[in-house]
Amino acid sequence: MKRTKIIFLILASIVFAYACAEKPVVNSNAGNTVNKTTVNTQPTAVTDELAAGRALYKKDCAACHREDGTGGKITIDGKNIDPENLTADKFKNRSDEKLIGYITDGNDEGMPAFKDKLKPDEIKEVVKFIRGELQKK
């Protein structure tokens, strides 16, 4: 009986050691087995690269250009305005630098300057959001 327990413990130890050993990674290009441990480098939570720009857009842009970026005639503070459709081809075809300039300095058509409200990096985040979500570029 004692001998059976010893054999059982030895076998259990071998199984445990085998289970804990590093698994080889096969290099599919060379067909060789390499003794390395595989590591999952994928983040556990999906990062939202547009979150900062989305929040800034909602706070500073959506009142005029609407949540979906389509703009159109509205009245703000008793003033009738017609904000641009940011999803239109003419805006899709403009460079990021041009859009950054519009947001930073405004334009003659009623777009106010945001250089005193948003930092340059924040303006870039808004453009990234416009490109990635509203224009789906």
Q: Which residue has the tokens 């547009």?
A: 50
Which pLDDT value is given to residue 42? 59
Which pLDDT value is given to residue 99? 95
CATH of 51-134, one of 3.30.930.10, 3.40.50.300, 1.10.760.10, 3.40.50.150: 1.10.760.10
Rounded CA separation 57/79 (Å): 21
Q: Is the dihedral of CA 84, 85, 90, 92 positive or negative?
A: positive
88: Cβ–Cβ under 8 A, 6 or more apart, which residues? none
Which pLDDT value is given to residue 92? 95
For 104-113, the pLDDT digits (tens) are 999 888 899 9
Q: Nearest-CA neighbor of 88 among 99, 80, 76?
A: 99
- Please report, for the chain, the start and end positions of each structural domain, with discontinuous segments joined by +: 51-134
Which pLDDT value is given to residue 32? 52
For 43-101, the pLDDT digits (tens) are 555 579 999 999 999 999 999 999 999 999 998 888 889 999 999 999 999 999 999 99
For 3-56, the pLDDT digits (tens) are 676 665 576 667 555 566 655 555 555 555 555 555 555 555 557 999 999 999
